[in-house]
Structure 1
Amino acid sequence: MQNNTNTFFNKYHIDANVCKSLSLMGYNQPMPVQEIVIPHVLDGLDLIVQSNTGSGKTAAFGIPIVHHIKIDETLPQALILTPTRELAVQICEEIAEIGKYKKVRCLPIYGKQPIHIQLRQLKQRVHIAVGTPGRLLDLIKKKNLKLEAMKYLVIDEADELLKRGFWEEVEAIVKKMPLERSTLLFSATMPSQIEAICADYMHNPIRIEMEPNQIPIDQIKQTWYEVSQDWKFKLLTKILDVYLPKKCMIFCNTRNKVDQLSNKLLRGKYNCVALHGKMAQKYRLRAISDFKNGKVPYLIATDLAGRGIHVDQLDLVINYTIPHENESYVHRIGRTGRVGEKGEAISFVSEHDKKRWLEIQAFINYQVKQGSENMLRGTHPSPSIKPRKKETHSKNKKRYQDITKLRINAGKKKKIRPGDILGAVSNLPGITSEDIGIIDIHDTCSYIEIFNNKGLRVLNGLRQGKVKGRPVTVKKVSNRS
């Protein structure tokens, strides 16, 4: 298959199946960081990249790594270290999207998830592992995560890993990696400890520094309102009613404020979810999923919880409270205005915040325009955010319309192996290996992805046939895994 309209195919000769995924994801032209990084990763070089969040760096390393993955290799070939569980899941989701048609399996690994789930997945074929250093190091020491076939080590958001006290684990993992590998380090800043690991464990790394304020300043309309603490909530609801954003992130400085504000919005019939570090892991992941999928339009978050969350077509970011650190402001507004889209950020500034607000404007070297009540009069959205048809679900439907995921009521306990299911499906009339995606075997059931709109054909065929000599029950499940 050739894709003459996809720059990644024409310019970098990326695997055609990867380009098929990229086209469905909307990646037809590389972003600046991708243009610079991809050729070096394809050449197997070590890289040190200074780049802000939201610059497209996940795809910058994800695309060439997926391109080079050997599908038949049974051991993991790439390891990606991240500072948070949420970011690990998010990177894994994006890489799984990139590698879907090449049948690349990516596994998120992090603490507070039952370890038996991760061990079960590692016993099957996993091409790329993404996770937090603590749990990864534990699995490596116990030899559950094998490193012999590793060709890539990615250290993402290295400065955040350092801030969170993960650096000893990071160094321990680096020391255990094969010497013959590519090491890719991404960080917004370069403290001395990070420089040390670059000097000790990287081979003639190429340094790349992206323009730090390029995305927020060039692509994001910024406005601030002077408002007292007592009137913030009224101003917030007025903005939400006028702008009618499909997706909006609202940042607060503390967990308590996140809980208070989300509860108040829910009482006011504004559909929202909260996100902060004290929430149980399953609720945090569910909140992110519901927000990203468009089920809930408003996400109320702290800086730490919101760090690294990538959301398509985020209309609006609101700083309900002004952040304590200058960098946090850039990270917050960097959630919007991604992948060449226009975005908007609004900040609430009380009398107490004015000095802090001047410091932030000096830091970004940009004078933010002050808004007024007159700008919010009327019932129509702001000119900068035009109402659009609800497109999240239609976009996802288009992306997944040729993929069907089937559940088979037979798994490891019935001694079913991937080859058994592969054989049964391959023998069906009109089905080839190109129509079969990832096969995932669990204890009591198995899942298989079917491409090219042939899901119904396979569903009916398996219902009338057998797997490993015995009849099975098969049903269709959600296309999204």
Structure 2
Amino acid sequence: MNFKQLGINDDLINILKNTGITNPTPIQEQCISLIKEGHDIIAEAATGTGKTLAFLLPIFENINCASNEIQALILTPTRELAIQITNEANKLKEAKNINILATYGGRDIGSQLKKLNKNIHLIIATPGRLLDHIERKTIDLSKLKTFILDEADQMLLMGFKNEVESIIKEMPKKHQTLCFSATMNSDVKKLAYRYMIDPSIVSIKKEEVTLSAIKQDVVETTDRNKRDALCKVLDEDNSFMAIIFCRTKRRVDELEVILHTRKYDCVKLHSDIPQNKRERIMKSFRNADIQYLIATDVAARGLDISGITHIYNYDIPETVESYIHRIGRTGRAGESGYTCMFVDPKNMRELEQIENNIGFKIPRRNVDI
């Protein structure tokens, strides 16, 4: 199956070719035709499976540029993900002159309002800022044709259920709903089925494939010795590009100070950092100008960055799903990856849960400090 057979026009196919994309991924193969035909969809797919293009390509096909109405809305939980989707959409704009508005916290609302005076066809938004526009009556969703809820599981985890439902109330009764989620738990299904008509279910299991390409280790340590153990591992590995995950913003702040003091090329990323600075950090990291990104789960959620060779779990993830999401950022596109998790005695139960879920005991790495 190729993009032409899926009904994607030559102009869009040429743009994809220029960015090195020649064949559709499984999620694109299964979703594009269904979306073009107007079906509601519940899709389970991890970051890195190509889900953004799975909904952007058919949306670009379906939008009528001659109309001055808002026809599609993509709602996403984090600013970083909104920026990433906007970047993808802007690449496709060369094929079809679709007016896109990206609206999320941290952007100047005045300039957004000015842009809204033009005909907007597609909106990419986070819930809070979109509701702000709706309350100001600067965005009208009454003629919306397609609604995409991206990273639905994270949206609910971050407490956006009421906001999502308030936004849906602003849409016409009859519209297409596409729900994309990395994990399809009962809360996501409940939300999706409440607003969908006979949805098609698409499930792309990526985790098993990802794990097979990733070498995993555990360093058993104490919280007091964890910093030294991490530094020893960083020195031994000298990774090209790595993310170091911490459980809280405070832990990220503390670790960044320590690593900076010890002369590591690192930068921190979490939701308290101003938006324009976060965008600069992500650009630098994508360009491999920074070796280590120290981040929380929320800040790194949905970021699909090629070239990440190592993932370090400085703090053990709170769930098995979170572990798989974190380490799935390496070992992409046939490349091998490496992940190392630092575990102190009080984390042994969580470690056991992770090992039971992935089906094997993670090898222990000895670190002399």
TM value normalised by structure 1: 0.71
Give per-residue Cα distances to partners, 1:315-360, cap 9 Å, x unaligned: 1111111112222111111222334443221112223323321111
Q: Is the 8 A contact 1:96 1:105 kept in 2?
A: no
Match of 1:15 among 9, 22, 47: 9
1:370 match: secondary structure: coil
Is residue 116 of structure 1 aligned with residue 124 of structure 2? Answer: no
Match of 1:183 among 168, 177, 202: 177
Is residue 81 of structure 1 aligned with residue 61 of structure 2? Answer: no
Measured in 1, the distance between the counterparts of 2:237 and 2:24 equals 31
Measured in 2, the distance between the counterparts of 1:282 and 1:147 equals 28
Q: Is the 8 A contact 2:47 2:303 kept in 1?
A: no
Cα shift at 1:144: 1.4
Aligned match of 2:25: 31
Q: Is the 8 A contact 1:215 1:338 kept in 2?
A: no
Bigger-Rg structure (1/2): 1
Q: Is the 8 A contact 1:215 1:334 kept in 2?
A: no
| Cα distance change on mapping 1:190 and 1:7 into 2, 3 Å | closer
Cα shift at 1:71: 3.3
Aligned match of 1:218: 212
| Cα distance change on mapping 1:327 and 1:191 into 2, 3 Å | closer
| Cα distance change on mapping 1:100 and 1:224 into 2, 3 Å | farther
Residue 348 of structure 1 aligns to which amino acid in structure 2? F
Measured in 2, the distance between the counterparts of 1:216 and 1:37 equals 21
| Cα distance change on mapping 1:199 and 1:255 into 2, 3 Å | closer
Measured in 2, the distance between the counterparts of 1:224 and 1:24 equals 40
Is residue 143 of structure 1 aligned with residue 123 of structure 2? Answer: no
Give per-residue Cα distances to partners, 1:282-341, cap 9 Å, x unaligned: 222222222122221211001121111121221111111111222211111122233444
2:180 match: secondary structure: strand
> How high is the sequence identity, in percent, across the aligned residues?
38
Q: Which moved more, 1:112-121 or 1:227-236?
A: 227-236
Aligned match of 1:48: 42
Measured in 2, the distance between the counterparts of 1:227 and 1:17 equals 55
Match of 1:159 among 153, 159, 183: 153
| Cα distance change on mapping 1:146 and 1:215 into 2, 3 Å | farther
Is residue 131 of structure 1 aligned with residue 125 of structure 2? Answer: yes
Gaps of 5+ in 2: none
Higher RCO (CA-CA < 8 Å; seq separation 6+): 2
Q: Which moved more, 1:353-362 or 1:140-149?
A: 140-149
| Cα distance change on mapping 1:217 and 1:64 into 2, 3 Å | same
TM value normalised by structure 2: 0.91
Aligned match of 2:200: 206
| Cα distance change on mapping 1:295 and 1:67 into 2, 3 Å | farther
Match of 1:345 among 334, 339, 342: 339
Measured in 2, the distance between the counterparts of 1:313 and 1:107 equals 29
Measured in 1, the distance between the counterparts of 2:237 and 2:272 equals 31
Cα shift at 1:215: 4.0
Q: Which moved more, 1:60-69 or 1:311-320?
A: 60-69
Q: Is the 8 A contact 1:55 1:338 kept in 2?
A: no
Measured in 2, the distance between the counterparts of 1:323 and 1:197 equals 26
Gaps of 5+ in 1: 1-5, 375-481
Cα shift at 1:236: 2.9
Match of 1:362 among 337, 347, 356: 356
